[in-house]
Amino acid sequence: MVQAIRGMRDVLPPEARRWRVIEEAVREVLHSAAYEEVHLPLLEFTELFARGVGEATDIVEKEMYTLLDRDDASLSLRPEGTASCVRALQENGLLYNQTQRVFYSGPMFRYEKPQRGRYRQFHQIGVEAFGLAGPDIDAELLALSATCWRRLGIAANVRLEINTLGAAPARRAYREALVAYLTPHQGKLDEDSQRRLTTNPLRILDSKAEATQALLAEAPRLPEFVDAESHAHFAELLGMLDALGIHYVHNPNLVRGLDYYTHTVFEWITDDLGAQGTLCGGGRYDGLVERLGGKPTPAAGFAIGLDRTALLHEVVHQDPMAAGADVYVCSLDSTQTAAVLGIAERLREATEARVRMHMGGGNLKKQMKRADACGATWAVLVGRDELDAGMLTLKHLVNGEQQTLSENEAIACIVANQFPGSSG
Ligand code: AMP
């Protein structure tokens, strides 16, 4: 048997059911805030990510799935969605003199070391807002993510960490100061940080190595480099979060791994998943549109990792999620299958219940066994007599009560989830 590629998981029931519940909840939150969905390609020119995410980031340096097209163009499976989203809106003229609030959902690919919560194909729901420079949109994005956690019943298990990186010149000045401070102590840095000293020095702040952290204790501090305007933006944002009742921790070491962030950056983190505790990350990226060839356009966004959100959801809500079907349709006359399929179709349409049609014949006992096994609340029994009379038999599988009804009466019972006059 050919097996799946390492780090590329199959998401099967019941996990897939949990994914659907989460995705639906998040979509509803985003729809309610009038964000529009976009669908973007999985493959883009490699250059888009090199320029957008940054040549010196881990993602571009060593984590992309890059391939040559048949005409020798270098393509990469998208490692994240923001660069593609900017490309798509820009290319279609949707960024010029307009504001846009959009979201997308789908798989991303990074060649990382797989472990629980970290995969080579993982799923993100990304949310981006363009053309809005104020801290109000940062606050809206954070409020929307907080609402998602509340809807999913995991709000008590996540915390918000937030920081400001300042505008690009402040970030550059800090980068230089940090490199100047760390270079004479290079030998004491952990291996990753030594490499990052020349490629992506801000990421050294993220290092978990004790010796590195000890060195950093005396290092120049980012907040001292951040420009006054950025401080004011941040202070205003924190004031809005206070007013909204959104708790946060200001973590001055939070920098995020992608190059494009400026001003606000944030992560929603849980302590319930071990090492891979970041469920969602985002921030402001005012320079990205220009960097990708567009006009300067303020922008901010975040991405929720669905895999990790589902893991946390499972820790908090251990139930396996509603499985199987709500209604099981038994066909007791094998010559009438098409007519019974028609009944099942009409029940699906009219009730929105999950209606599973029995397949493969067999006697009533066998079919009822299947109905019980799939956890259905109702069985619909259709034999020759019922079809001739234009009726069907509806049986409540929990209390055993059954009635012979017209299709419309049965639909009403299924929708009400009880027989008329019954206590359910
Ligand atoms: P990023 O695009 O790195 O800002 O990540 C945003 C979110 O995507 C993270 O908080 C994770 O939930 C999720 N994520 C990123 N990389 C992975 C991965 N390799 N496996 C699973 N989830 C990931």
Does 221 contact ligand 1 (Cβ within 6 A)?
no
Contact 402, 396 (CB under 8 A): yes
Does 266 contact ligand 1 (Cβ within 6 A)?
no
259/114: higher pLDDT: 114
CA-nearest residue for atom 8, ligand 1, is: 305
> The domain 327-416 belongs to what CATH superfamily?
Anticodon-binding domain (3.40.50.800)
Question: Distance between CA atoms of 241 and 82, rounded to whole angstroms?
Answer: 24
CA-nearest residue for atom 14, ligand 1, is: 305
CA-nearest residue for atom 13, ligand 1, is: 305
Does 307 contact ligand 1 (Cβ within 6 A)?
yes
What are the backbone dihedrals phi and psi of residue 263, each rounded to the nearest 5 degrees, phi first? 55, -120
Torsion angle of the four alpha carbons 83, 89, 95, 100, in this order, in degrees rounded to the nearest 10: -90
Does 308 contact ligand 1 (Cβ within 6 A)?
yes
Q: Is the pLDDT of residue 259 over 80?
A: no
Q: Which atom in ligand 1 lies closest to the alpha carbon of residue 118?
A: 20
Question: Distance between CA atoms of 46 and 59, rounded to whole angstroms?
Answer: 12
CA-nearest residue for atom 11, ligand 1, is: 305
CA-nearest residue for atom 1, ligand 1, is: 281
Architecture per CATH, domain 13-167+227-317, reads as 2-Layer Sandwich (3.30)
Strand order in the sheet with 66-68: 43-45, 74-77, 66-68
Other C-beta atoms within 10 Å of 180: how many?
10
Q: How confident is the model at residue 423 (pLDDT cuts 50, 70, 90)?
A: low
CA-nearest residue for atom 17, ligand 1, is: 118
Q: Is the pLDDT of residue 316 over 50?
A: yes
Q: How far is the CA of 298 from the centre of ligand 1 (A)?
A: 23
Q: Is the pLDDT of residue 237 over 90?
A: yes
Q: Which atom in ligand 1 lies closest to the alpha carbon of residue 120?
A: 19
Cα–Cα distances (Å) from 341 to 95, 346, 355, 356, 357, in that order, read 49, 9, 11, 10, 7
Question: Distance between CA atoms of 227 and 225, rounded to whole angstroms?
Answer: 6
In the prediction, which pLDDT does 320 show?
67
Range(s) within the chain of domains with CATH label 3.40.50.800: 327-416
Q: Is the pLDDT of residue 253 over 50?
A: yes
Residue with token string 């001055």: 252
CA-nearest residue for atom 5, ligand 1, is: 281
Does 81 contact ligand 1 (Cβ within 6 A)?
no
CA-nearest residue for atom 20, ligand 1, is: 118
Does 303 contact ligand 1 (Cβ within 6 A)?
yes
As a whole-number percent, the residues of the chain with pLDDT over 90 amount to 86
pLDDT (tens digit, 9 = 90+) per residue, 345-396? 999 999 999 999 999 999 999 999 999 999 999 999 999 999 999 999 999 9
Does 386 contact ligand 1 (Cβ within 6 A)?
no
CA-nearest residue for atom 4, ligand 1, is: 281
Does 126 contact ligand 1 (Cβ within 6 A)?
no
Q: How far is the CA of 60 from the centre of ligand 1 (A)?
A: 15
Does 17 contact ligand 1 (Cβ within 6 A)?
no
Q: How confident is the model at residue 424 (pLDDT cuts 50, 70, 90)?
A: very low
In the prediction, which pLDDT does 208 show?
86
Q: How far is the CA of 318 from the centre of ligand 1 (A)?
A: 23
Q: What does the buried/exposed string (b/e) look like for 61-82 if buried means 16 or more CB atoms within 10 Å of the residue's CB?
A: eebbbeeeeeeeeebbbbbbbb
Q: How far is the CA of 305 from the centre of ligand 1 (A)?
A: 5
What are the backbone dihedrals phi and psi of residue 277, each rounded to the nearest 5 degrees, phi first? -95, -5
CA-nearest residue for atom 18, ligand 1, is: 118
* Mean pLDDT over the full length of the chain: 94
Q: Which atom in ligand 1 lies closest to the alpha carbon of residue 119?
A: 20
3-class SS of residue 394:
strand
Helix then strand then coil, % of the chain, to nearest 5: 45, 20, 35
Q: Which atom in ligand 1 lies closest to the alpha carbon of residue 256?
A: 4
Is it true that the peptide bond before 14 is cis, omega within 30 degrees of 0?
yes
Q: How far is the CA of 64 from the centre of ligand 1 (A)?
A: 14
Q: Which atom in ligand 1 lies closest to the alpha carbon of residue 117?
A: 21
Position 378, amino acid: W
In the prediction, which pLDDT does 35 show?
98
pLDDT (tens digit, 9 = 90+) per residue, 133-151? 999 999 999 999 999 999 9
Range(s) within the chain of domains with CATH label 3.30.930.10: 13-167+227-317
Average pLDDT over residues 12-38: 95
In the prediction, which pLDDT does 318 show?
85
